[in-house]
Amino acid sequence: MFTILKKERLNPTVSRMVVKAPFVARKAEPGQFIIFRAHEDSERIPLTIADFDREAGTVTVIYQIVGASTMELDAMREGEALCDFVGPLGKPTQTDGIKKVAVVGGGVGCAIAYPVARKLHDLGCEVHAVVGFRSSDLVILEEEFAAASDRLILMTDDGSRGEKGLVTAALEKLIEEGNAYDEVIAIGPLVMMKFVCAVTKRYGIKTVVSMNPIMIDGTGMCGGCRLTVGGETKFACVDGPDFDGHLVDFDEAMKRGTMYREFEQHAREASCNLLNREVQ
C-alpha cells in the first residue's frame, strides 16, 4: 500500500506528494527516480525523487500536471493509495570529491536539483544555487534551496521575483566573479541545459545534466529516451539519467521530444473528459 500521506499545490501547475514507501526510502539517493501507476489501468511513468525520509519511510515526488497520467495522479487525495511505486531506479548523482559546485535549476527541474544541492551541502560542499522561473507565481522550493545553499540566486524571465533574466546570465556572472567550481550541475528544460553547457564549455568547467525530461517508461524498452552522448547511443533511464552535458546532443533530443505531442494532446483531452465525468 503506497498511501498518499500529504499532497499540496506548489504553484498553479505543480504539486508535491509525500508517499509511504519504506523500501524505496531505504535505498533512495538524489538523482534517482521511481515509476508509478495511479490505478491498475493507468500508464506507467517515471518521476524523479524530490526528497526522502528513511526514518519515516516516505518518499516525496514533485510533478507538473501536463498529461493524462499526472492529471490522474493529481486527482488522488490524501489517504488514497497508488497502485505501483517502484524504485529507486537510475544511477544516483555522483557527489564524491566535489568541494565547490553551482547547481542550476529551471522550472520544475528544481525539484530534481534540490535534493542534489542538499546532499552536497550536508557533505560540507560550498553550494551556489541558481534557480529560474518564468514568473513569480511559478516559483517553487525557494526556502528549501536557501537552506541548502551558501548562495542562492533566484531569476525570473519577467523580473517579478528575484533578478530579471536567464539562469545562464547569472551563472556566467558567478564564474566571472572568480568562483572556481569543481562542477556545474544543471537540471531543467532541455534548452536551458543546452545553453548552460554552452557557457561552461567556454570556461572548461565539468557539467553534469539530468536527462530525466525525456524519459517515458523508465526501463529502456520503449526507446523514447534514446540519446546520443559523445557519439554513442545511450538511454536516459538505464544509463543515466545524469550525463556529461558537453557530450550530449541536445538538438537531437529536443527534436525527438516533439514526436509525441499530438498523442499526448489526445490522451490529455481523454483524461479531462473522464475526470469531469467522475466529478459529476
Walk me through the domains of the chain, giving residue ranges and CATH numbers: 2-89 (2.40.30.10), 90-209 (3.40.50.80), 211-280 (no CATH)
- Average pLDDT of the segment spanning 66-87: 90
- The closest alpha carbon to 112, from 41, 212, 27, belongs to 212
What is the percent of the chain with per-residue pLDDT over 90, rounded to a whole number? 65
Q: What is the mean pLDDT of residues 241-269?
A: 72
Residue 164 has pLDDT above 50, yes or no: yes
Report the distance separating Cα 189 and Cα 204, nearest Å.
22
- 168 contacts 195 by C-beta, under 8 angstroms: yes
pLDDT of residue 221: 66
Q: What is the mean pLDDT of residues 202-227?
A: 80
Q: What are phi and psi of 177, to 5 degrees?
A: -70, -10
Long-range contacts of 48-51 (CB under 8 A, 24+ apart): 48/111, 48/112, 48/210, 48/212, 48/241, 49/24, 49/87, 49/88, 49/115, 50/16, 50/111, 50/112, 50/114, 50/115, 51/114, 51/115
Beta strands 58-64 and 14-20, pairing class: antiparallel
Residues 6+ away with beta carbon under 8 Å from 259: none
Q: How confident is the model at residue 90 (pLDDT cuts 50, 70, 90)?
A: confident
Task: Give kind and range of the element (H or E) at residue 234.
Answer: strand 232-235
The arithmetic mean of pLDDT across residues 169-179, rounded, is 96
Q: What is the mean pLDDT of the chain?
A: 88
For the cut 90, the answer to whether the pLDDT of residue 235 exceeds it is: no
271: confidence class by pLDDT, cuts 50, 70, 90? very low
Instruction: Measure the CA–CA gap between 212 and 115, rounded to whole angstroms.
Output: 15
Judged against a pLDDT cut of 70, whether residue 172 lies above it is answered with yes
User: Which of 121-130, 214-223, 237-246, 266-275 bottoms out in mean pLDDT, i.e. has the lowest?
Assistant: 266-275
For 164-182, the three-class secondary structure string (H helix, E strand, C coil) is: ECCHHHHHHHHHHCCCCCC
Name the least confident of 14-23, 50-59, 198-207, 237-246: 237-246
pLDDT at 266 over 50: no
The reported pLDDT for the residue numbered 219 is 61
Indicate the range of 13-27, 55-69, 182-196, 266-280 predicted with least confidence. Answer: 266-280
3-state SS, residue 202: helix
pTM: 0.85
Q: Is the distance from CB of 162 to CB of 140 less than 8 angstroms?
A: no
Q: Give the pLDDT confidence score for residue 153 in this predicted structure.
A: 97
What confidence category does residue 260 fall into, taking pLDDT thresholds of 50, 70 and 90? low
Count H helices, E strands: the chain?
9, 16
Separation CA 280–CA 227 (nearest Å): 43
Write down the pLDDT at residue 263: 47
